[in-house]
A and B are shown apart, each in its own frame.
Chain A
Amino acid sequence: MCLAIPVKVTEVLPGDMAKVKLEGVLKVISTALIDDIRPGDYVILHVGYALTKIKPEEAQRTLTLIQEASMGVAP
């Protein structure tokens, strides 16, 4: 139910809407729940609404932490 997927914003539309792309599929979604959206941003999409923006630097930091954890480095 709370499944949501990361999608890339391709175009910001009037009325708090945006076009997003996912695996070649284009869809118009609502961005009324988030601010300051730009083409190229990735958002978490749930039932037609962007819930939050994905922070690229934190995404990378998570991968780094996972890599370190796999090598036995705390935390």
Chain B
Amino acid sequence: MKYIDEYRDGRLAKLIADRIAALADAARSYCLMEFCGGHTHAISRYGLEDLLPANVRMIHGPGCPVCVLPIGRIDAAIALAARPEITLCTYGDLMRVPGTNRSSLLEAKAAGADVRVVYSTLDALRVAETEPEREVVFFAIGFETTTPPTALALKTAIAKGLGNFSVFCNHVVTPAAMHHILESPPVRKLGSIKIDGFIGPAHVSAVIGTKPYELFAEKYCKPVVVAGFEPLDVVQAILMLVRQINDGRHVVENQYIRAVTRHGNDKAQAEVANFFELRESFEWRGLGELPLSGLRLRPQYAAYDAEKRFSMMTPRGKDNPACECGAILRGAKQPAECKLFGAVCTPDTPMGSCMVSSEGACAAQWIYGRFREKAPQANATRVVT
């Protein structure tokens, strides 16, 4: 496929990895965090860590919206879906995320709840249009990449007068989360690790541009390289970060120039700003309450806000106490350090969110990486990706 195949040349990736090895100072380590789950998936899928020298280490960050969605919001969605008048439309990623006591939307659907997997908000709108007797709620999650499609769905619903369409908003924002990984008191208290530089998200940046990271790079003296999701994009970004660290520079560089500009997509940003505002704080699984890190609908759109419309309560969910997803999301632990990993927690029977999404660090490790290390082995289960 054009614009994909040419960025998957293994020979070139190996040559660039050799350059990284040649440039990396053997007397120090390079701890680089890939914030975004898409990069985590690519790094595991293409075995990029095996190409890198031992002193260049990738830390998997919390940039997987499925993984950071707190259990209480899943519980709230399950409770909402159980109401007889409601049709809950959701992206497929959320269907198997375990709620409290390992309930899930998939189980709710099996028990009779009207839960439907949609590919796009366009599909959710179509359901609202063709079934006017149903209350159609779109379960909206995701970073800045996924927020504009939700904004446009609201715009369309208003234009078409779809009074039976609403949004359960769980959208979160990237720069705030990156800031909190380094600074927020709850994260500091929970313990974190040294990070020398960041690989910035690909498609989030297509929307917001590279500009929002500039303050971050300056304030924390950490280089950021925005990168595409293909393997050559990632290794090139790692090379750029190693060069910056060696030079003592900490600026924002853009490796993904074919799709990302400094200012991003103005039109998408305007649509988002029209419909959404920042919440004072939002809970992230594994990171706690992070100020100004999530979005909600503006008050004038309360009629389309499922939380207000259905007086939704977000219960305090209880994570499995043995699950290490929280520490893994902060980069403080590796998946194989969790005693559930591969024993009772696999993509077929996920106990924690990092095992549900293919972009979660645990799922990536299980599917692609477990043969590299002596991780606990479960019964061999065939994983369909």
Contact = CB atoms under 8 A, between A and B. Distances in A.
A in complex with B: yes
Interface of A: 1-6, 8, 22-23, 30, 32-35, 42, 44, 46-49, 51-52, 54-56, 58-59, 61-63, 65-67, 69-72, 74-75
Contacts, number: 137
A30 to B, nearest CB: 6
Contact of A69 (B19, B229, B256): B19
B38 A3 contact: yes
A70 B3 contact: no
Given A46-B149, A47-B121, A65-B236, A2 B143 contact: yes
A49 B149 contact: yes
Counting from the closest, the 10 A-B pairs by CB-CB distance are A48-B120, A70-B15, A6-B3, A59-B258, A2-B145, A58-B257, A58-B258, A2-B203, A52-B206, A49-B149
Contact of A33 (B4, B37, B148, B229): B148
6 contacts: A1-B93, A2-B63, A23-B1, A48-B120, A62-B236, A62-B257
* Secondary structure of the A contact surface, majority rule: mixed
Given A6-B2, A23-B1, A51 B145 contact: yes
Contacts of A34: 265, 267
A3 to B, nearest CB: 6
B231 to A, nearest CB: 11
B119 A2 contact: no
Contact residues on B (Cβ < 8 Å of other chain), bracket: 35 or more
Contacts of A5: 1, 4
A66 B256 CA distance: 12
Contact of B236 (A6, A58, A66): A66
Contacts of B19: 69-70, 72
Nearest to A51: B206
B369 interface: no
Contacts of B4: 5-6
A67 B22 CA distance: 17
Contacts of B255: 62
Interface in B228-261: 228-229, 232-233, 236, 239-240, 243, 255-260
B202 interface: yes
B12 interface: yes
B60 to A, nearest CB: 14
Nearest to A65: B236
Contact of B66 (A1, A35, A52, A66): A1
Interface of B: 1-4, 6-7, 12, 15-16, 19, 22, 36-38, 63-66, 91, 93, 119-123, 141-143, 145-146, 148-149, 152, 201-204, 206-207, 228-229, 232-233, 236, 239-240, 243, 255-260, 265, 267-268, 271, 357, 359
Given A2-B201, A44-B203, A51-B207, A69 B148 contact: no
A12 B289 CA distance: 44
Contacts of A67: 12
Contacts of B207: 51-52
Nearest to A6: B3
A39 to B, nearest CB: 15
A1 B15 CA distance: 30
Contact of A66 (B142, B152, B232): B232
A9 to B, nearest CB: 13
B201 to A, nearest CB: 7
Given A52-B265, A58-B258, A72-B22, 7 more contacts: A1-B38, A1-B145, A2-B36, A61-B257, A62-B236, A66-B16, A69-B236
